[in-house]
Amino acid sequence: MNSSPRQRRKIIGTALPAAVLMLVSSAVAVQSVGPAAAAETTLRAAAAKAGLFFGVAASPNRLYPIVGQEFGQLTPENDMKPDRIATSSGGLQNTGGADTLVNHAQSNNMLVRGHTLVWHSQAGALQGASQATLNTFIGNAINRWGSRIAYWDVVNEALEDNNTGRRRNQWPHTMNRDANGDGDFFDAGDTDVIRDSFIRAKQVVQAGGYTTKLCINDYDVEGLTVQGGTPNRKANALYDIVRNYRQYIDCVGFQAHFNDNPNSIITDDLQANIQRFADLGVEVHLSEVDIDDDLSNNDIGAGQAENYRKVVRACLNVAKCTGITVWGISDSESWRSSERGLLFTGGNGSYQKKAAYHAVLDELNKGRGSVTPTTPPVTTAPPTTPPVDPTTPPPTTAPPTTPPTTGCSATVSLNSWTGGFVATVRVTAGTAPISGWTVRLTLPSGTTVTNTWSANASGTSGTVQFSNVNYNGAVSAGQSTEFGFQGTGTATGLTPVCTAS
């Protein structure tokens, strides 16, 4: 008889008495240490077993059986974008394609990612609309599908290309106003389309009692660095946005369109970057994955498969990386068909698995391994912040040994790998509020700071100093803020000294 492992378990389960079944299942549990015995045979099942979803971008004319078989999540590739469904006054129209996709997902027990509410591109009738009209659209779209949409991309691609770390200079971001001219949009008096859209979306979700989580999504934000080790300023800017608006943002999508553009390569610090966002308490998704098969001069086959393996592993190794979505089923049906970046060849419902498919399945089947993040989630949050997910692993950083009185104290937590690390430094005000802070620490010899976020750094080796930026200098009594830096070398035994101003 030719039966799958799952079918075999079912046959055993119905035929044998309970005592025998216990013995059999413990034998299965022992066997499951070896990958072959426990291996799932679809991406969907293997991912579910590892505690994440594996999804696909989909269109109504391509809802072949493979969609529900291989994938546990679906993102409408184009059918939920404003140019399809928005009227100029923020109403809905032409929702047929989107409805078909949501219904298909529901009947196949798949999660849906709504894509996307606020975007400079494919804006259709909403192009040039005011924030009030965007808010109307946000309300209508979220309310139409409610909790049937597990995740909504509220804001898509807000940041400029070419690693500048700036917001786009296009509608809707041209509506932003930097009241005090300090270069950000985070202060009271500033106007920020990102903030205002998320506030509106959160209100709608809460008023409707929906379970929908709200995401920000972008590309070229995957690594801590880009080609040549240059800091990824776009990723740092996204990090600052999530950190500042954490009470409204539940999830972050790294699109993960990997190719040989210097800002779009796969870097060794991908996992560390996923980890630092996860440490903010948000879920991280690799939301639109495709990998150019000529990346790093690797040709079709093993090179691309290995790259897929690396990317999937980086997600699996971070507990709050809760989903991976590929941007289409097969190369020929992809928006970037010339890069052959997906997991299948073929088309029109008849697909063949590539080496990359087998690599992804194999990696998913290995599971998460020993995922014990070494950096704690950010727990200091305004009162409106939703509770931190109870599945978040507890912090491993020891509290300061001497409790702060006045002034400030600082603790460091590390996420290290061979040859490098990310340090997250938590600054806590004492019994009185502070309006600024400086943290000084001495790095081991041979260790160098390469990248800093949410602080101004002075010095890169030996004794280095970090001081607050404009938006995180003021800390209320007993409250905390965080900054981070990345370095080469090792960083064990750092003793930060905090001075308040």
- List interacting residues with ligand 9MR (CB under 6 A): 77-78, 121-122, 255, 288, 335
Q: Choose between 50 and 102: whose C-beta lies nearer to ligand 9MR.
A: 102
CA–CA–CA angle 273, 377, 496 (5° rounding): 85
DSSP 337: G
Answer yes or no: are the C-beta atoms of 25 and 43 closer than 8 Å: no
CA–CA–CA angle 288, 290, 294 (5° rounding): 160
Helix axes 233-244, 270-278, angle to 10 degrees: 10
Sign of CA pseudo-dihedral 41, 43, 46, 49: negative
Q: Choose between 121 and 348: whose C-beta lies nearer to ligand 9MR.
A: 121
Task: Work out how close the CB of 82 gets to ligand 9MR at its nearest, in angstroms, rounded to a whole number.
Answer: 11
Instruction: Say which residues have a Cβ less than 8 Å from residue 299's Cβ, sequence separation at least 6.
Output: 293
CA distance 353 to 358: 7
Q: Choose between 78 and 470: whose C-beta lies nearer to ligand 9MR.
A: 78
Task: Work out how close the CB of 430 gets to ligand 9MR at its nearest, in angstroms, rounded to a whole number.
Answer: 45
Parallel, antiparallel or unpaired: strands 344-347 and 321-326 = unpaired
Residues recognised as catalytic: 157, 288
Q: Phi/psi at 445 (nearest 5 deg)?
A: -65, 140
Task: Work out how close the CB of 104 gets to ligand 9MR at its nearest, in angstroms, rounded to a whole number.
Answer: 18
**Contacts from 205-210 at CB under 8 Å and sequence distance 24+?**
205/142, 208/142, 208/143, 208/146, 210/142, 210/146, 210/147
Task: Work out how close the CB of 457 gets to ligand 9MR at its nearest, in angstroms, rounded to a whole number.
Answer: 32
Q: Choose between 344 and 466: whose C-beta lies nearer to ligand 9MR.
A: 344
Helix, strand, coil percent content, the chain, rounded in steps of 5: 30, 25, 45
Task: Work out how close the CB of 285 gets to ligand 9MR at its nearest, in angstroms, rounded to a whole number.
Answer: 13
Instruction: Say which residues have a Cβ less than 8 Å from residue 398's Cβ, sequence separation at least 6.
Output: 411
Q: Choose between 226 and 498: whose C-beta lies nearer to ligand 9MR.
A: 226
CA distance 308 to 310: 5
CA distance 496 to 187: 28
Instruction: Say which residues have a Cβ less than 8 Å from residue 47's Cβ, sequence separation at least 6.
Output: 53, 54, 72, 324, 364
Please give the C-alpha separations between residue 287 and each of 105, 159, 243, 447, in angstroms, as whole numbers.
17, 17, 20, 34
Task: Work out how close the CB of 335 gets to ligand 9MR at its nearest, in angstroms, rounded to a whole number.
Answer: 4
Q: Choose between 155 and 237: whose C-beta lies nearer to ligand 9MR.
A: 155
Task: Work out how close the CB of 153 gets to ligand 9MR at its nearest, in angstroms, rounded to a whole number.
Answer: 8
Q: How many residues does the chain have?
A: 501
CA distance 288 to 113: 11
Nearest residue to ligand 9MR by CB is: 335
Task: Work out how close the CB of 61 gets to ligand 9MR at its nearest, in angstroms, rounded to a whole number.
Answer: 12
Q: Choose between 77 and 222: whose C-beta lies nearer to ligand 9MR.
A: 77
Q: Choose between 93 and 121: whose C-beta lies nearer to ligand 9MR.
A: 121
